[in-house]
């Protein structure tokens, strides 16, 4: 059932360059929770694409949508994002390889205040509550 739901999301992204990145991320799922996260990522991508067309996709541990204006939107299906060493390292590595790119981090629900500071220090805008709140 989860595979069918994911394929439905995949079809909706027809015309998006490298949309296979959604499937690449899903293929890394090792648990049912991770599989459900992939479905949620797909829904977030569809919601974003309906609001702001996506030009291409990449998978950088999370889906990264490149919008038509060049903005990068990193989509996170988690309910709550905390500030961890992995988050800090990931944000720093992303920013080092993408200096000056307008970037937003879109999470399904909330981000801790410490994590928000990590994003803001890298000039990444945080959107809580999914693409509909952007």
Range of the domain at 100: 2-133
Q: Is 6 exposed, middle or buried (0-12, 13-18, 19+ CB in 10 A)?
A: buried
Average pLDDT over residues 34-60: 84
Higher-pLDDT residue of 12 and 39 is: 39
- Residue 4: left (phi > 0), alpha (psi -120 to 50), or beta? alpha
Average predicted confidence (pLDDT) for the chain = 86
Q: Is 101 exposed, middle or buried (0-12, 13-18, 19+ CB in 10 A)?
A: middle
We report the CATH number of the domain holding residue 40 as: 3.40.1350
State residue 119's pLDDT score. Answer: 98
| Nearest CA-CA partner of 106 in 55, 40, 56 | 40
What's the number of domains the chain is made of? 1
- Give the tens place of pLDDT for each residue, 97-134: 999 999 999 999 999 999 999 999 999 999 999 999 98
Cα separations (Å) of 113 from 61, 83, 120, 124? 22, 8, 10, 14
The answer to pTM > 0.85 is: no
pLDDT at 50 over 90: no
């Amino acid at each position: 059932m989860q595979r069918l739901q994911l394929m439905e999301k995949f079809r909706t992204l027809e015309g998006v360059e490298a949309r296979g990145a959604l499937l690449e991320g899903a293929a890394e799922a090792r648990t049912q929770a991770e599989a459900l996260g992939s479905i949620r990522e797909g829904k977030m991508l569809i919601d974003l694409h309906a609001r702001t067309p996506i030009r291409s996709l990449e998978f950088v541990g999370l889906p990264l949508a490149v919008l038509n204006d060049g903005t990068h939107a990193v989509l996170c299906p988690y309910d709550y994002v905390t500030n961890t060493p992995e988050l800090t390292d990931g944000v720093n590595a992303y920013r080092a390889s993408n200096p000056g790119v307008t970037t937003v981090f879109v999470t399904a629900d909330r981000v801790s205040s410490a994590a928000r500071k990590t994003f803001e220090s890298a000039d990444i805008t945080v959107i809580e509550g999914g693409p509909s709140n952007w």
